[in-house]
Amino acid sequence: MTTLTGTKIANTYGGLLKVSSTGVSGTLQNVTDGYGNNSAIQLSNSTFNISGAFQLGGTAITADASAINAITDLTGFNGYVAMVSGIAYGRELTPTAPISITNGAGQAGNTNISLQISGITSGVYGPLHKFNISPYGIVVSAETTSSMTLTNLSVTDLWVAQTLTGNRATFINEVSATGGFRGALTGDVTGNVVGNVTGNVVGDVTGDLTGDVTGDVTGNVVGNVTGNVSGATANFSSKVSGTMVVGASATFTQQVSAGFYYGDGIFVNSDVASSVDVVMSILEIT
């Protein structure tokens, strides 16, 4: 600051700022230097007016008075401020599931936004999973299930370590089991069995076998066959033995022997049969 100490008025009055010689009044007056040059300032006893450009820290403030007057006093606002048509409003972030918000107004620090804890125990679930998915795509519950119900199941390879149980199954391709098939087959088998059965059938077969069996049966059938085996013809290349063979008719092209023969009113006892060859084209045994 320039000092006036030791200077003469004649040498310094031009650098002095002043208003009119009557002093500050209720009317705005230009602030001039000692030579009468107007400055950018006008003063009255109630008003300070800048008639030129205004700078702050060397940077010009370009907003006019109306723009500065439009700045809202934010003294009474809490939280975040939103402007709507030039009017300021205080706002606070509030949570809606599944979002969790802490310090929504931002007054105690930064606002934190996160997903709510679902309560699911973190872990690996298996072998079958049941998930409850919220509309937001979040797993809200999970459990390991012991059973599963499906309308349709389509898989390339299905491995079942224990038991596969169901009311009905339809297979359009081959079904195989390296460990074998076990358990009772209960019900009717309708249709043709075509192909080879190699191995033993052990146990009881109860009921009628109606239809064609085409192919070879290689192996033993051990057990009881209870029921009817029906067909128009039967050819046997080796022996057929039994306690009694009963039928409407039978044709034999080789030797037939029995303890006695009965049919067509002819009785042949065992003594005759041992010495006489009996040749019959049709033997009716009743």
Residue 261 near residue 276 (C-beta atoms within 8 A): no
Say if 138 falls within a structural domain.
no
Residue 122: per-residue pLDDT:
75
Q: Say whether both 208 and 245 belong to one domain.
A: no
Say if 258 falls within a structural domain.
yes
Say if 259 falls within a structural domain.
yes
Range of the domain at 270: 233-286
Q: Say whether both 225 and 237 belong to one domain.
A: no
Q: Say whether both 237 and 269 belong to one domain.
A: yes
Q: Say whether both 223 and 245 belong to one domain.
A: no
Q: What is the dihedral of CA 60, 62, 67, 73, to 10 degrees?
A: -20
Say if 19 falls within a structural domain.
yes
Say how many domains are in the chain.
Answer: 4
Q: Say whether both 240 and 281 belong to one domain.
A: yes
Residue 272: per-residue pLDDT:
44
Say if 279 falls within a structural domain.
yes
Residue 231: per-residue pLDDT:
64
Residue 77: per-residue pLDDT:
76
Say if 205 falls within a structural domain.
yes
Per-residue pLDDT tens digits of the chain, which is 286 residues long:
577 788 888 888 888 888 887 889 999 999 999 898 999 999 999 999 988 888 889 899 888 888 888 777 778 777 888 888 878 788 888 998 888 899 888 887 889 998 887 777 777 766 677 788 777 677 878 887 777 777 777 778 777 777 777 777 777 777 777 776 666 666 666 677 777 777 777 777 777 777 777 777 787 777 777 777 666 666 666 666 666 666 666 677 777 776 666 655 454 444 444 444 444 434 444 4
pTM attached to this predicted model: 0.31
Say if 30 falls within a structural domain.
yes
Say if 105 falls within a structural domain.
yes
Q: Say whether both 249 and 278 belong to one domain.
A: yes
Q: Say whether both 53 and 101 belong to one domain.
A: no
